[in-house]
Amino acid sequence: MAFREAENFRLTVLNPGGRDREQQFHGVPAPGEGAHPPTNFHAFAACTLGAFHFSARPALAEDTPVLLLLRSDFRASERALRDLKKRGRTVAVSLKETGLHQIARQMRDRARLSRLMKIVAQADGCIATTPEAAEIYQSVRWSLRRVVFIPTPYPVEDQRWNFSLSPQEQSGIFVGTREWDVPSRNHFAALLVARKLCDATGEPVTVVNLDGHKARRLLSELKFPEGKFSVIEQRKSYPEYLRDVARHKIVLQLDRSHVPGQVAGDALLCRIPCVGGDGAIERIAFSKTCGEGRTISEIASMALDLLKDSDLRAAIVAESQQRALERLSFQAVRSQLEKFFAELQGTTASQPSGT
């Protein structure tokens, strides 16, 4: 099913002072096209055929609603909000990093916390990419109508983004996390589970290491069976990375960070099951295999069943694709964004300034 082009609603995503290049989405880019793949917050712009900016100037020149990202110390975001509101623009805000551990780290600074409270209160609304972030915004705004959870979309309806392979071309376990220094990722525990599954089934394990020699020494201590462990140490384009993921039977993780869920989003594009993890995408698309409310032993047992049973894998993939089409596709999320901003514009027009 092809993505239907947006007719009227377009969204500008503004990341003040960010490093990603300006990008206008005149169509959904094919894999490898464009300055940045249509993932994460770029996907909000892409699904509406909007724009992604790091400078407020081009955003001010456009006649579109704005999703303003809060990053760094929030100073640039605060200035951008002030300038956008002077122009009469409808502005929703979102923290750029929305995992619970990331929010906690950002809020340890008093000045940053104070700035966040002011920005959230002054914006027209808040978009949260996790249910947990929505609850935090809600505690600041006290207005349910102006806070919404909208998951980051994935172009699952676009066959150009279908990276699936036949079962005969798939083998092994892809460990989806890679951060040793973030305790809630539980990366070490995921690798131990993967090694146990490797011992039980003979399935090979693949992990990404972009942290060099230190992480390489840690991995060597796990002592995987000879010839059953592969480490990807080269940075790759997003399509190349997805092709690597798609060669596996499952994606495995034990993340407890309540992040938006790109590990599961990658699995959706590769049409393979994602096992473990409690990100927003995991809970929506892979509710039967996610880590929410499950022990490590239960997750390991599910992973073992999936490695052994191709029919079970196919059933999980089919269900995840259906849920993604309904709630996570570009068309589905575009509809959610359009509805939310229409409500914000209607509420803003009917209320006095400052309410």
Taking only the tens place, the pLDDT of each residue in 13-66 is 999 988 888 899 999 999 999 889 999 999 999 999 999 999 999 999 999 999
Is 330 within 8 Å of 153 (Cβ atoms)?
yes
Average pLDDT, whole number, for the chain?
Answer: 92
Q: What are phi and psi of 162, to 5 degrees?
A: -95, 105
Whether 327 contacts 193, CB under 8 Å: no
Q: Identify the CA nearest to 150 among candidates 2, 301, 336.
A: 336
pLDDT, residue 139, reads: 85
Whole-number pLDDT of residue 354: 43
Q: How many H-runs (helices) and E-runs (strands) does the chain carry?
A: 14, 12
Instruction: Using alpha carbons only, give the angle 216, 221, 226 rounded to the nearest 5 degrees.
Output: 90
Which residues, 6 or more positions from 207, have their beta carbon under 8 angstroms from its beta carbon? 174, 175, 178, 191, 194, 219, 229, 230, 231, 232
pLDDT, position 144: 53
Output the pLDDT for position 106. 87
| CA 16 centroid distance within chain | 20
Q: Which domains does the chain have, with CATH numbers?
A: 12-153+329-350 (3.40.50), 159-327 (3.40.50.2000)
**pTM, full prediction:** 0.93
> First-to-last CA distance in the chain?
43
- What residue spans of 19-171 are helical by DSSP H? 40-47, 56-61, 75-86, 100-106, 110-122, 131-141
Residues of the chain with pLDDT below 50 are 1-6, 352-355
Of 29, 17, 82, 86, residue with least CA distance to 55: 17
